[in-house]
């Protein structure tokens, strides 16, 4: 045993700890979920490393978590026999935050406790959540494969620093001991602990054990007490949630499972759970979150899918399992076919993975279509209620009355993830039509982002040959664009696109359901039969009359404009800028300029 070393926390950790202890009071009990999920992760990691080195199991092949408490000492301990931590790992992993986006997250904190608590919830504080209920945490650990003399003790009061020392520790794995604060007495009670574990950790695939207690009769007329019996019993179901039958899983259990794997505090918007059979067999459990994570725009951090092979955890963030435009989806894929030693590189080439990817993509699109259909059915109850056929979850189907909650779901989804979904137009040609159907826009007749291309088509004027749209930085700019004047006058709806990706995404969508998409800001707008003969005549006459003027304008603007024309597209404004057909729009040009290109 060596002397202990005092080390400072990384600045972000110190800041986070301050917030944890000051802002997360309203939801104390989540610390237990976080610590048990870490214990479960550690066992997953051991199982994974042991695929190539069975010796790591030592003499304890049964992986488990034990939760104990000591009333007199006021401590609560969560112990696992998973992979454990070396001293250096304890320093690195319990003293810093490796998560991507940490800095970004910190910069968003406002100092307003309520708002920050929500943010923190989204970010997930993991191990540090122990400090919600503890004023001191002791971690003792030994990494699998290391000798007993290379154990580590890590202690911190949750302020600026922590201490580490080398200890003797025969048993493999980690025990986290919380020295509970005065107001955390609740957790010195077996009943309470079982209740919280049942709520948050029932789906954990490992047994979570607690020592059985017995009622002891009081002596000399004193009230009795609970005494420990030395016998251990599991307090969770200990079977991975996705391996159970759908009918045996409650919505609350799905929701808690989602929260554990996603580190989200909010319930998911929708989920889909299926066993896929055929040439490639796998189980998929996919969730659509209700809120976008902070790193949604980081395309490198793709797909929140965990890959298991025959219930053995293989890897997080398996990006090969879903295309990048669906990176907001969280969940689990458990394959019956892949080899246990599959690597990221192998995943890219596997035919089974290709099948899983296609199947999961279709499933997600079906979930979205289901939400969109429910929203449509609620908007027009009589007309389209029979459209709600493609319901993903059979159990949900039974309860598929369109209530207002269902109706709002798609709008909620779209506000958070619509812009990401659009990337699919350029990324997933095979599903382009399905993706296009899922898109929603504001329009000259609807301020809310709710108009689908199919709705638009259904409302097209007789003789209208294209779906018209305009891109702009803001809704106001789009609505007030002079290029819209003629369309307004003729009562033709124009889609207003204000997302940064619209321009790019739309360049992949030339038509929808046989109707071309046409920017009103490009080239000469030919309204075909919608244009009066008289108007055309007038324009021709004007072009002739104004020829000298046009020549002089062209000369004056020769470095700035390619052409100057008489137009019929304006009603009130004297002039407007347009881009030649096939040219880069002003919007895209500006975006590229901003990006320094
Ligand atoms: P996350 O679980 O998201 O990685 P945490 O804050 O919960 O973040 O944990 C930080 C790190 O500490 C983990 O990634 C892991 O390396 C380590 N750790 C925490 N608990 C344990 C444990 N019981 N056994 C082994 N390592 C652990
Ligand atoms: Mg964790």
Instruction: Kindly write down the DSSP assignment for every residue of 47-74, as one continuous string.
Output: HHHTTT-GGGGTT--S--EEEEEETTTT
Q: Looking at the DSSP assignment, which residues form a beta bridge with residue 162?
A: 7, 156
Give Cα 142 distance to the centre of its chain: 34
Query: Do residues 201 and 37 make contact, with C-beta atoms less than 8 angstroms apart?
Result: yes
* Residue whose CA is at the smallest distance from ligand 1 atom 13: 93
Q: Is the CB of 174 under 6 A from ligand 1?
A: yes
Average pLDDT on 28-34 reads 87
pLDDT at 383 over 90: no
pLDDT at 491 over 80: yes
Q: Is the CB of 129 under 6 A from ligand 1?
A: no
d(C-alpha 569, C-alpha 489), whole Å: 10
For residue 34, the CA-to-ligand 2 centroid distance in Å is 5
pLDDT at 104 over 90: no
User: Which structure tokens are listed for 128?
Assistant: 């540090």
User: Which structure tokens are listed for 411?
Assistant: 């709008």
Q: Looking at the DSSP assignment, which residues form a beta bridge with residue 180?
A: 134
* First vs last C-alpha separation in the chain: 59
User: Which structure tokens are listed for 482?
Assistant: 């002079």
For residue 578, the CA-to-ligand 2 centroid distance in Å is 54
Q: Is the CB of 206 under 6 A from ligand 1?
A: no
pLDDT tens-digit profile of 208-232?
Answer: 999 998 888 777 766 667 888 889 9
For residue 35, the CA-to-ligand 2 centroid distance in Å is 7
Q: Is the CB of 127 under 6 A from ligand 1?
A: yes
Determine whether 277 is exposed, middle or buried from the number of CB atoms within 10 Å of its CB (0-12, 13-18, 19+). exposed
Q: Is the CB of 102 under 6 A from ligand 1?
A: no
Residue 358's alpha-carbon distances to 173, 273, 340, in angstroms, are 39, 16, 21
Taking CB atoms within 8 Å and a gap of at least 24, the contacts of 422-426 are 422/325, 422/499, 422/501, 422/502, 422/505, 423/324, 423/325, 423/501, 423/505, 424/323, 424/325, 424/326, 425/505, 425/506, 425/508, 425/509, 426/504, 426/505, 426/507, 426/508
For residue 30, the CA-to-ligand 1 centroid distance in Å is 15
Q: What are phi and psi of 516, to 5 degrees?
A: -70, 150
pLDDT at 2 over 50: yes
* The residue to which tokens 């997600």 are assigned: 364
pLDDT tens-digit profile of 47-95?
Answer: 999 999 999 999 999 999 999 999 999 999 999 999 999 999 999 999 9
Pocket test for ligand 1, best of 16, 38, 172 (most atoms within 8 A of CB): 38
Q: What is the pTM of this model?
A: 0.72
Q: Is the CB of 94 under 6 A from ligand 1?
A: yes
d(C-alpha 174, C-alpha 471), whole Å: 56
d(C-alpha 488, C-alpha 140), whole Å: 72
Q: Is the CB of 36 under 6 A from ligand 1?
A: no
* Residue whose CA is at the smallest distance from ligand 1 atom 20: 38
Q: Is the CB of 402 under 6 A from ligand 1?
A: no
Q: Which atom of ligand 1 is nearest to the CA of 83?
A: 25
User: Which structure tokens are listed for 30?
Assistant: 């989540």
pLDDT tens-digit profile of 276-304?
Answer: 998 899 999 999 999 887 766 665 555 68
As a whole number, the mean pLDDT across the chain is 85
For residue 102, the CA-to-ligand 2 centroid distance in Å is 15
For residue 98, the CA-to-ligand 1 centroid distance in Å is 11
**Most trustworthy range by pLDDT among 207-221, 361-375, 466-480, 526-540:** 361-375
Residue 497's alpha-carbon distances to 412, 456, 458, 472, 509, in angstroms, are 18, 14, 19, 6, 14
Pocket test for ligand 1, best of 93, 141, 293 (most atoms within 8 A of CB): 93
pLDDT tens-digit profile of 126-172?
Answer: 899 999 999 999 999 999 999 999 999 999 999 889 999 999 999 99
* Residue whose CA is at the smallest distance from ligand 1 atom 19: 38
- Nearest Cα to Cα of residue 318 among 275, 267, 357: 357
d(C-alpha 237, C-alpha 423), whole Å: 41
pLDDT at 307 over 80: yes
Q: What are phi and psi of 67, to 5 degrees?
A: -110, 120
- Indicate the pairing of strand 282-288 with strand 446-451: unpaired
The kind and range of the H/E element at 196 are helix 190-201
* 293-326 exposure pattern, b = at least 16 Cβ within 10 A, e = fewer: bbebeeeebbbbbbbbbeeebbbeebbbbbbbbb
For residue 99, the CA-to-ligand 1 centroid distance in Å is 11
Interacting residues of 555 by C-beta distance below 8 A, sequence separation 6+: none
For residue 113, the CA-to-ligand 1 centroid distance in Å is 26
For residue 78, the CA-to-ligand 1 centroid distance in Å is 13
pLDDT at 411 over 90: yes
Query: Do residues 595 and 503 make contact, with C-beta atoms less than 8 angstroms apart?
Result: no
For residue 44, the CA-to-ligand 1 centroid distance in Å is 12
Q: Which atom of ligand 1 is nearest to the CA of 82?
A: 24
Q: Is the CB of 442 under 6 A from ligand 1?
A: no
Closest ligand to C-alpha of residue 81 is 1
d(C-alpha 512, C-alpha 514), whole Å: 5
């Amino acid at each position: 045993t060596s002397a202990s070393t005092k080390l400072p926390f990384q600045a972000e950790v110190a800041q986070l700890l301050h917030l944890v202890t000051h802002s997360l009071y309203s939801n104390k009990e989540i610390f237990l979920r976080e610590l048990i999920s870490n214990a479960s992760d550690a066992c997953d990691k051991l199982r994974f490393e042991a695929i190539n080195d069975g010796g790591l199991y030592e003499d304890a092949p049964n992986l488990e978590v034990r939760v104990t408490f000591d009333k007199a000492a006021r401590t609560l301990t969560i112990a696992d026999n998973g992979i454990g931590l070396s001293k250096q790992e304890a320093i690195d992993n319990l003293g810093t935050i490796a998560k991507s986006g940490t800095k970004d997250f910190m910069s968003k904190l406002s100092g307003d406790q309520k708002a920050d608590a929500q943010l923190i919830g989204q970010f997930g504080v993991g191990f540090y959540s122990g400090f919600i209920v503890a004023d001191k945490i002791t971690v003792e650990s030994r990494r699998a494969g290391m000798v007993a003399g290379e154990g580590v003790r890590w202690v911190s009061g949750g302020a600026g620093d922590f201490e580490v020392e080398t200890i003797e520790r025969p048993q493999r794995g980690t025990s986290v001991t919380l020295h509970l604060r005065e107001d955390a007495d609740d957790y010195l009670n077996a009943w309470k602990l079982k209740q919280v574990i049942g709520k948050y950790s029932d789906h954990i695939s490992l047994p979570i054990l607690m020592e059985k207690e017995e009622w002891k009769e009081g002596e000399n007329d004193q009230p009795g007490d609970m005494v420990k019996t030395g016998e251990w019993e599991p307090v969770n179901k200990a079977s991975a949630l996705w391996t159970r039958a759908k009918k045996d899983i409650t919505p609350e259990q799905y929701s808690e499972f989602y929260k554990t794997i996603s580190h989200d505090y909010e319930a998911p918007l929708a989920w889909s759970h299926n066993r896929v059979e055929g040439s490639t067999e796998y189980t998929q459990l996919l969730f659509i979150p209700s809120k976008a994570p902070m790193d949604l725009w980081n395309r490198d951090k793709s797909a929140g899918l965990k890959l298991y092979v025959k219930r053995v955890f293989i890897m997080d963030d398996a990006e090969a399992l879903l295309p990048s435009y669906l990176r907001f989806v969280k969940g689990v894929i458990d394959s019956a076919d892949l080899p246990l030693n599959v690597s990221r590189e192998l995943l890219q080439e596997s035919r089974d993975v290709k099948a899983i990817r296609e199947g999961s993509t279709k499933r997600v699109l079906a979930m979205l279509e289901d939400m969109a259909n429910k929203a449509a059915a609620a908007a027009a109850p009589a007309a389209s209620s029979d459209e709600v056929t493609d319901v993903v979850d059979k159990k949900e189907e039974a309860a598929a009355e369109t209530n207002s909650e269902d109706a709002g779901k798609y709008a909620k989804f779209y506000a958070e993830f619509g812009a990401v979904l659009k990337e699919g137009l350029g990324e997933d040609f095979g599903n382009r039509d399905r993706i296009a159907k899922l898109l929603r826009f504001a329009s000259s007749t609807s301020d809310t982002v709710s108009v689908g291309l199919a709705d638009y088509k259904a409302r097209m004027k007789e003789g209208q040959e294209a779906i018209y749209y305009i891109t702009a930085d803001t809704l106001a700019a789009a609505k007030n664009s002079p290029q819209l004047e003629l369309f307004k006058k003729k009562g033709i709806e124009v889609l207003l696109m204000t997302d940064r990706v619209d321009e790019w995404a739309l360049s992949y969508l030339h038509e929808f359901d046989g109707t071309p998409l046409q920017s009103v800001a490009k080239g000469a707008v030919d309204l075909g039969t919608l244009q009066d003969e008289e108007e055309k005549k007038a324009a021709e006459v004007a072009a002739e009359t104004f020829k000298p003027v046009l020549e002089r304008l062209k000369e004056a603007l020769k470095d700035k404009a390619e052409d100057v024309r008489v137009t019929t597209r304006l009603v009130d404004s004297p002039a407007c800028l347009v881009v030649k057909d096939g040219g880069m729009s002003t919007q895209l040009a500006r975006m590229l300029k901003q990006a320094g290109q």
